[in-house]
Amino acid sequence: MEAALADLFARSFGARPQDVAALKGDGSSRRLYRLRGAQRSVIGAVNADQLENRAFIAFSRHFRRCGLPAPEIYAEDPGRGVYLEEDLGDTNLFQHLSAQGFAPGTVELYRKVVRLLPRIQIQAGAGLDYGACYPRAGFDKQSMMWDLNHFKYYFLQLAHIPFHEQALEDDFRRLVDFLLKAPRDYFLYRDFQSRNIMVRDGRPWIIDYQGGRKGALQYDIASLLFDAKADIPFALREELLELYLDAACELAPIDRAAFLRHYPGFVYIRIMQALGAYGLRGFHERKPHFLQSIPYAVRNIEYLMGARELPVKLPALMEVMRRLVGSSALRCYGDAKLRLNVRVQSFSYRNGAPADERGHGGGFVFDCRALPNPGKNPKFSKLDGRDAPTAEFLRGEEAVERFMEHACALVAQSVENYRGRNFTDLLVSFGCTGGQHRSVYCAELLAQRLRGLGVEVEVRHRELDGDEAAVPIT
């Protein structure tokens, strides 16, 4: 195969390559090489699957005609299953992220990527020959069921996650029926994630779209934002989703409410597709590096279950998701270090103790009603525990200091344990009579101390904030 690539290089550029070096493979059967000559460096691909080659080459040429940053195809030899494409360098978005973290330059790259995506899906998708798609022309019911059964048999069974076969199959069909109601007249990249975006001269370039087909917009942005090991901060994901929708709405009439109604369903099916791939490559084929993404996928499920509600009832599937989130074993593959998020809130016992509807149901509820109550003094009646006079009063009370020493020590112990087990959510609640003074002060004080431990913290005062979203502590 190296000789076939060298022959194609010589026919295309008039001289044989001076060097042919194999590149690290991905999860597919395709093999990639870098061929260097006196004047140029190109990438050579070897793949016996002629239909997959046909799709990649046809899409690449179409994207180039549309002015998109896709590699140029220099030459092909379909009979020998080889082709030559533009060399985009060695750095993909994931490698850039791994080196730089979410520094301003990385965040700006992600912004460029989400602005680029609608151009691929909408502009280029409008004139694409979908007859070149492989193995399916559309992300249809059959495609979705393949992915879901892959998840069931290669991940759930091999990870020893119990499920009710018929009930889960029924939920799969309900989910698919729901997803098929979303508009599906766009190009679906299929694997739009950080390893398939190269970075050259500060610009994103796209690769590995040979599995593309016609489908819904939501799938690809879900693939990018819930890319497991990229572990994008959740606040940034929401910002990027809005930026994506703004860019898409400039190119086509998008019903944002309808888009967001279907969006979590596409996130779920993408996560399940990825877990199926991790199970096949990791559990079945014994390639352990694929298992390293599992803890991040579990974290994504945990976030999704708390942040976005599916408008279709899927009890068996949600039970499976709860079992995945509750599995300590799945969180411990590889060297994953998941970020722990501690949710701190105050509340009034008059309105009942809060339930943990977003997490795993654990955590702490501290009763502040035995502490000195500034609410009995009229001068504090219009203030709450965040105001300086109230905080000064409570800070001067020895009983409050002792109480918080014990509370903070208990929470710190759990924080250390949760971090070691890759748990990602802890709820701590402080209650008092009115939810205005003591509980608010204690919640704020705990949040301040947790910041020193490098923990992500959300703070919410139930009686003061009403139905407002939690306020992140930064």
**Residue bearing tokens 């460096």:** 41
Contact 228, 296 (CB under 8 A): yes
pLDDT of residue 328: 85
The string of pLDDT tens digits covering residues 302-342 is: 999 988 889 999 999 999 999 999 898 998 888 788 888 89
**Residue 224 pLDDT greater than 50, yes or no:** yes
**Which CATH architecture describes the domain 93-332?**
Alpha-Beta Complex (3.90)
pLDDT of residue 273: 98
Q: Report how far residue 466's alpha carbon sits from residue 463's, in angstroms, rounded to the nearest whole number.
A: 6
Q: Report how far residue 54's alpha carbon sits from residue 52's, in angstroms, rounded to the nearest whole number.
A: 5
DSSP string, 21-34: EEPPP-SSS-EEEE
Residue 314 burial (10 A CB sphere; 0-12, 13-18, 19+)? buried
**Residue 381 pLDDT greater than 60, yes or no:** yes
For the record, the structure tokens of 461 come out as: 């005062």
Q: Is the pTM of this model over 0.85?
A: no
Residue 67 burial (10 A CB sphere; 0-12, 13-18, 19+)? exposed
Q: Report how far residue 168's alpha carbon sits from residue 316's, in angstroms, rounded to the nearest whole number.
A: 5
Q: Report how far residue 468's alpha carbon sits from residue 362's, in angstroms, rounded to the nearest whole number.
A: 23
Type of residue found at 16: R
Sheet arrangement for strand 471-473? 364-367, 425-432, 341-348, 456-461, 471-473
**Which CATH architecture describes the domain 2-86?**
2-Layer Sandwich (3.30)
Helix, strand or coil, per DSSP, at residue 459: strand
pLDDT of residue 325: 92
Kindly give, in sequence order, each residue whose CB lies less than 8 Å from that of residue 332, ignoring residues fewer than 6 positions away. Answer: 295, 421, 422
- According to DSSP, residue 92 is labeled B
DSSP string, 212-233: -EEE-THHHHHHHHT-TTT---
Burial track 94-128 (b if 16+ CB lie within 10 A, e otherwise): bebbeeeeeeeebbebbbbbbbbbbbbbbbbbeeb
Average pLDDT over residues 158-185: 97
Kindly give, in sequence order, each residue whose CB lies less than 8 Å from that of residue 75, ignoring residues fewer than 6 positions away. Answer: 8, 9, 11, 12, 83, 84
pLDDT of residue 360: 65
Per-residue pLDDT band for 110 (boundaries 50, 70, 90) equals very high
Residue 155 region by backbone torsions, left for phi larger than 0, else alpha for psi between -120 and 50, else beta: alpha
Q: Report how far residue 204's alpha carbon sits from residue 117's, in angstroms, rounded to the nearest whole number.
A: 11
Q: Report how far residue 118's alpha carbon sits from residue 18's, in angstroms, rounded to the nearest whole number.
A: 40
**Residue 359 pLDDT greater than 80, yes or no:** no
pLDDT of residue 165: 96
pLDDT of residue 238: 96
pLDDT of residue 469: 39
Tell me the pLDDT of the chain averaged across its residues: 93
Q: Report how far residue 149's alpha carbon sits from residue 153's, in angstroms, rounded to the nearest whole number.
A: 6
The string of pLDDT tens digits covering residues 37-89 is: 999 999 999 999 999 999 999 999 999 999 999 999 999 999 999 999 999 99
Per-residue pLDDT band for 136 (boundaries 50, 70, 90) equals very high
Type of residue found at 207: I
- Regarding beta strands 456-461 and 341-348, do their DSSP bridges make them parallel or antiparallel, or are they unpaired? parallel
Percentage above 90 pLDDT, the chain: 85
For the record, the structure tokens of 445 come out as: 């004080």
**Residue 403 pLDDT greater than 60, yes or no:** yes
pLDDT of residue 307: 86
**Residue 473 pLDDT greater than 70, yes or no:** no
pLDDT of residue 49: 95
The string of pLDDT tens digits covering residues 257-281 is: 999 999 999 999 999 999 999 999 9
Instruction: Domain ranges for the chain, please list them.
Output: 2-86, 93-332, 341-473
Per-residue pLDDT band for 470 (boundaries 50, 70, 90) equals very low
Query: How distant is the alpha carbon of residue 300 from its chain centre?
Result: 6
**Residue 1 pLDDT greater than 90, yes or no:** no
**Residue bearing tokens 């006196």:** 38
